[in-house]
């Protein structure tokens, strides 16, 4: 994972609450054995019309949303399945951060492991972000704050370990493997007790 | 005196290889890792890239369920996969399991089935274990007093390579279920009622513990139905303390401890309950006696109500959109709504008692004209048991299709799906927009409600259907 320190972008807004992982990437695209190439199917059933052309009514198809790397989404974003294909699809689509007042646990965990910054903001801040689509934000990972165009800041909570991993591009499997002795000892202890 | 602990805390505490610190999550040991074809290929690739092996193949168990067709193989053995890619995904798991020495219940196994059905059936799922799978419905195994939760593919790789996960300790949430469920009201009705009460995101960040007399009275299959849907309230996991019902169900299963080891295991399992005075971060009380046959009316499992109660008015624009998508009118009951497809199956409701409940309603009756009904057993073992009782004949005589085990129309990535606009009464767990096919409208329900709706051609209360015909 590449280190992630700052994201600067205008926002795109999907105000719907409870956007589930089937919305983000429908199950019929999960037969892949790769991590890449899912971006063209992100939000597939909202994004395209029956003839395959872009649906102009879908928020992310609007000209002002093109190229936005920060997605502001309604409450409880990413609920549903554990498919890591959801953050893979968003990243491949060009999204680097998701902001909401509530983000589902497994989605959030999967997102952070892939360098997709999933951030929970307060209800009031969330309301403001929903009401200001296209605002230019700068997200500072180290400082855990979102900077607004007028210099104002929304601070957010980010688990210290998750922040460290994002900033340093930490390989979490490598991190667990550093505890190999403790894992060996644990297994010996359990097997002796059995 | 030691501080009273919850069931969750007891399991968590004994599995910390490295304790959680302010600046680092716990390294948590995983006793059982369940694997299927959809969320594992990229994880095995990661092991290959790093030249790692599977640390504990003996704690890893794989099956084929999500991408698999539920129509039988042709005479020459070829299977009707929905796409070549689906078949390639199955083949990839077969070759990964062979290469890494993982036990696979594939096409040739008489134990193959939905991952959350076969884990318990084989006795691989046991009280007090930590269990993970790249599937959010891993919560199912919490019915045995295990801490069981879904993980992503990166974490599947972590567990394959190290048998451990990095985890922050979740919060606890007690769901006290008082009194008893009325006769003919099922565990599915109860869990839909619970999710409607606490909300689709009401469990986020928490492990639910279902407890109280109404829970203790449930069979293991019913407990699995309840814990299965913990994730539908956003919870990481759902748990129920193991008791004699649990031990009786597990005894003599292939992977359960035998002989003296069984007695020692039971003695340990009996300690796995929340201590008197243990504190939960949140608590809620539910009165089981007030639960009615319940169905969903919107596009997430929290939008659920008694089927004969008026659908609540939309509280916001999203709910209004959901009602519009479902073609449901606020103020009108769901009962009576015309049905196109009925699906009995999935890791929520595909076990033998679920099939019996559906068959009881269908026996001597017919699926209404124009309605398609699929019955998909959860495993080969369920299929054999159902066929031994003649349930398959009840289903086919009524005009339903009796299929080969798999996830089928719950995830609709295997060829089983509904057409745009069709209304599906489904015993599965998710009614998201498009979940069962683009534009398909899903109503979640119990097996008995699904069967009654198939007969009536409309959403129907199984109690009414059975009573009316008795009176006639």
Q: HEC string of chain B?
A: CCCCCCHHHHHHHHCEEECCECCECEEEECCEEEECCCCCHHHHHHHHHHCCCCCCHHHEEEECCCCCCCCCCCCCCCCCCCCHHHHHHHHHHHHHHHHHCCEEECCCCCCCECHHHHHHHCCCCCCCCEEEECCHHHHHHHHHCCEEEECCHHHHHHHHHHCEEEECCCEEEEEEEECCCCCCCCHHHHHHHHHHHHCCCCCCCEEEEEECHHHHCCCHHHHHHHHHHHHHHCCCEEECCCCHHHHHHHCCCCCCCCHHHHHHHHHHHCCCCCCCCCCCCEEEEEEHHHCCCEEECCCCCCCEEECCCECCCCCCHHHHHHHHHHCCCCCCECCCCECCEEEECCCCCCCHHHHHHHHHHHCCCCCCCCCEEEECCCEHHHHHHHHHCCHHHHHHHHCCEECCCCCHHHCCCCCCCCCCCCEEEECCCCCCCCCCCCCCEEEECCHHHHHHHHHHCECCCHHHHHHHHHHC
pLDDT tens per residue across span B285-327:
999 999 999 999 999 999 999 999 999 999 999 999 999 999 9
Asked if B57 reaches chain A (Cβ–Cβ under 8 Å), the answer is: no
Q: Which of B39, B42, B166 is the closest to A176 by Cβ?
A: B166
pLDDT tens per residue across span A32-52:
999 999 999 999 999 999 999
Q: Compute the distance between CA of residue B45 and CA of residue B61 in angstroms, rounded to an integer.
A: 18
Q: Compute the distance between CA of residue B96 and CA of residue A152 in angstroms, rounded to an integer.
A: 52
Among B17, B168, B409, which would you mutate to test the A interface (most chain A Cβ atoms within 10 Å of its Cβ)?
B17
Q: Which of B155, B162, B204 is the closest to A105 by Cβ?
A: B204
Evaluated on CA atoms B46, B158, B102, B50, the torsion sign reads positive
Q: Which of B83, B138, B204 is the closest to A102 by Cβ?
A: B204
Q: Which of B85, B170, B430 is the closest to A80 by Cβ?
A: B430
Asked if A191 reaches chain B (Cβ–Cβ under 8 Å), the answer is: no
* Closest-CA residue to B306 (of B295, B297, B316): B295
Asked if A138 reaches chain B (Cβ–Cβ under 8 Å), the answer is: no
Using 70 as the pLDDT threshold, list the residues of chain B that sit under it.
1, 469-472
CA B448-B453-B459 angle, to 5 degrees, is 115
What pLDDT does A1 receive? 80
What pLDDT does B469 receive? 65
Asked if B263 reaches chain A (Cβ–Cβ under 8 Å), the answer is: no
Q: Compute the distance between CA of residue A133 and CA of residue A66 in angstroms, rounded to an integer.
A: 12
Output Rg (C-alpha) for chain A, integer angstroms.
19
Domain ranges of chain A: 6-193
Q: Compute the distance between CA of residue B439 and CA of residue B430 in angstroms, rounded to an integer.
A: 14
Q: Does B152 sit within 8 Å of A110, measured CB to CB?
A: yes
What pLDDT does B454 receive? 98
Q: Compute the distance between CA of residue A161 and CA of residue B22 in angstroms, rounded to an integer.
A: 8
Neighbours of B438 (CB within 10 A): 18
Q: Which of B166, B234, B413 is the closest to A28 by Cβ?
A: B413
Contact between residue B211 and residue B286 where contact means Cβ atoms under 8 Å apart: no
Which residues, other chains included, contact B453 with Cβ-Cβ below 8 Å and sequence gap of 6+? B339, B342, B425, B445, B459, B460
Strand partners, B239: B209
Contact between residue A117 and residue A131 where contact means Cβ atoms under 8 Å apart: no
B407 in a labelled binding site:
yes
Q: Which of B92, B152, B413 is the closest to A84 by Cβ?
A: B152
Contact between residue B382 and residue B319 where contact means Cβ atoms under 8 Å apart: no
Asked if B49 reaches chain A (Cβ–Cβ under 8 Å), the answer is: no
B97 in a labelled binding site:
no
Q: Does B162 sit within 8 Å of A173, measured CB to CB?
A: yes
Q: Write the Ramachandran bin of B176: left for phi over 0, alpha for psi from -120 to 50, otherwise beta.
A: beta
Contact between residue B173 and residue B207 where contact means Cβ atoms under 8 Å apart: yes
B164 in a labelled binding site:
no
Per-residue pLDDT of chain A (194 residues; tens, 9 = 90+): 889 999 999 999 999 999 999 999 999 999 999 999 999 999 999 999 999 999 999 999 999 999 999 999 999 999 999 999 999 999 999 999 999 999 999 999 999 999 999 999 999 999 999 999 999 999 999 999 999 999 999 999 999 999 999 999 999 999 999 999 999 999 999 999 87
Asked if A10 reaches chain B (Cβ–Cβ under 8 Å), the answer is: no
Residue A180, classed as helix, strand or coil, is helix
Distance from CA of A19 to the nearest CA of B (A): 9
Contact between residue B15 and residue B237 where contact means Cβ atoms under 8 Å apart: no
Residue of B nearest to A79 (CA): B234
Query: Which chain A residues have a beta carbon less than 8 Å from that of B82?
Result: 31
Q: Does A17 sit within 8 Å of B152, measured CB to CB?
A: no
Q: Where in chain B is the domain with CATH 3.40.1060.10?
A: 171-242+267-290
Asked if B258 reaches chain A (Cβ–Cβ under 8 Å), the answer is: no
Q: Which of A76, A83, A180 is the closest to B39 by Cβ?
A: A83
Interface of A with B in 55-114 (CB under 8 A): 74-76, 79-84, 87, 102, 104-106, 109-110, 113-114
CATH topology of domain B294-471: Aconitase; domain 3 (3.30.499)
Q: Compute the distance between CA of residue B70 and CA of residue B355 in angstroms, rounded to an integer.
A: 16
Q: Where in chain B is the domain with CATH 3.30.499.10?
A: 7-167, 294-471
Q: Does B25 sit within 8 Å of A45, measured CB to CB?
A: no
Q: Does A82 sit within 8 Å of B41, measured CB to CB?
A: no
Distance from CA of A169 to the nearest CA of B (A): 14
Contact between residue A12 and residue A71 where contact means Cβ atoms under 8 Å apart: yes
The domain defined by B171-242+267-290 carries CATH number 3.40.1060.10: yes
CATH tag for A6-193 (out of 1.10.260.40, 3.20.19.10, 2.160.20.80, 3.40.1190.20)? 3.20.19.10
Query: Which chain B residues have a beta carbon less than 8 Å from that of A31?
Result: 38, 67, 82-83, 85-86, 88-89, 413
Residue of B nearest to A174 (CA): B158
What pLDDT does B291 receive? 98
Exposure string over B333-358, b if 16+ CB within 10 A, otherwise e: bbbebebbbbbbbbbbbbbbbbbbbb
Neighbours of A57 (CB within 10 A): 9
Query: Which chain A residues have a beta carbon less than 8 Å from that of B161?
Result: 173, 176-177
Q: Does A113 sit within 8 Å of B39, measured CB to CB?
A: no
Neighbours of B279 (CB within 10 A): 14
Residue positions counted in chain B: 472
* Closest-CA residue to B410 (of B321, B320, B315, B341): B341
CATH architecture of the domain covering B7-167 = 2-Layer Sandwich (3.30)
């Amino acid at each position: 994972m590449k280190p992630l320190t700052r994201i600067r972008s205008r926002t795109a807004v999907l105000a719907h609450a409870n956007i589930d992982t089937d919305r983000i990437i429908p199950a019929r695209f999960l037969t892949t054995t790769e991590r890449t190439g899912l971006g063209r199917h992100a939000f597939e059933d909202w994004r395209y019309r029956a003839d395959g052309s872009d649906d102009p009514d879908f928020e992310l198809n609007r000209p002002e949303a093109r190229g936005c790397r920060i997605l502001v989404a309604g409450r409880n974003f990413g609920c549903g399945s554990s498919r890591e294909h959801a953050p893979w699809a968003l990243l491949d689509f060009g999204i680097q951060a998701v902001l909401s007042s509530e983000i589902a646990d497994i989605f959030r965990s999967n997102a952070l492991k892939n360098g997709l910054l999933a951030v929970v903001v307060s209800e009031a801040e969330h309301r403001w972000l929903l009401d200001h689509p296209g605002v230019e934000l700068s997200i500072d990972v180290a400082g855990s704050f979102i900077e607004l165009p007028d210099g104002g800041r929304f601070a957010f909570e980010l688990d210290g370990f998750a922040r460290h991993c994002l900033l340093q591009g930490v390989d979490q499997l490598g991190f667990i493997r550093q505890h190999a002795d403790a894992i060996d000892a644990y297994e010996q202890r359990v097997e002796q007790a059995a | 005196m030691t501080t009273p602990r919850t069931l969750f805390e007891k399991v968590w505490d004994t599995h910390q290889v490295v304790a959680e610190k302010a600046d680092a999550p716990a390294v948590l040991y995983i006793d059982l890792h369940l694997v299927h074809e959809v969320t594992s290929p990229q994880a095995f690739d990661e092991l290959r890239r790093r030249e790692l092996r599977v640390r504990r193949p003996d704690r890893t168990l794989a099956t084929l369920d999500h991408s698999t067709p539920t129509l039988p193989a042709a005479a020459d053995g070829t299977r009707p996969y929905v796409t070549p890619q689906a078949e390639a995904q199955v083949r990839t798991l077969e070759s990964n399991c062979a290469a890494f020495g993982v036990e696979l219940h594939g096409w040739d196994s008489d134990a193959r089935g939905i991952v959350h059905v076969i884990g318990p059936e084989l006795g691989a799922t046991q009280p007090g274990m930590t269990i993970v799978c790249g599937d959010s419905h891993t919560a199912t195994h919490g019915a045995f007093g295990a801490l069981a939760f879904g993980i992503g593919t990166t974490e599947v790789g972590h567990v394959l390579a190290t048998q451990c996960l990095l985890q922050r300790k979740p919060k606890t949430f007690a769901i006290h279920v008082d009194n008893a469920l009325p006769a003919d009201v099922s565990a599915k009705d109860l869990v839909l009622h619970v999710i409607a009460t606490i909300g689709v995101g009401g469990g986020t960040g928490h492990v639910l513990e279902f407890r109280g007399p109404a829970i203790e009275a449930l069979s293991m299959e019913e407990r699995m139905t309840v814990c299965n849907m913990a994730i539908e309230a956003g919870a990481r996991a759902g748990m129920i303390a193991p008791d004699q019902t649990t031990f009786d169900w597990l005894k003599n299963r292939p992977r359960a401890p035998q002989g003296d080891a069984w007695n020692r295991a039971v003695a340990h399992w009996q300690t796995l309950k929340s201590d008197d005075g243990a504190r939960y971060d949140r608590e809620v009380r539910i009165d089981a006696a007030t639960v009615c046959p319940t169905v969903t009316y919107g596009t997430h499992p929290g939008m659920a109500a008694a089927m004969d109660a008026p659908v609540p008015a939309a509280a916001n624009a999203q709910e209004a959109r959901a009602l519009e998508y479902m073609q449901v009118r606020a103020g009108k009951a769901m009962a009576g709504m015309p049905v196109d497809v009925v699906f009995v199956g999935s890791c929520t409701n595909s076990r033998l008692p679920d099939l019996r409940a559906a068959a009881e309603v269908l026996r001597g009756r017919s699926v209404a004209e124009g309605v398609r009904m699929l019955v998909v057993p959860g495993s080969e073992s369920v299929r054999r048991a159902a066929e031994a009782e003649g349930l398959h004949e009840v289903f086919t005589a009524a005009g339903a299709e009796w299929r080969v085990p798999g996830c089928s129309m719950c995830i609709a990535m295997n060829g089983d799906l509904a057409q745009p606009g069709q209304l599906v009464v489904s015993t599965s767990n998710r009614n998201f927009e498009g979940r069962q096919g683009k534009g398909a409208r899903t109503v979640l329900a119990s097996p008995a409600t699904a069967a009654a709706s198939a007969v009536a051609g409309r959403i129907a209360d199984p109690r009414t259907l059975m009573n009316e015909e008795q009176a006639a």
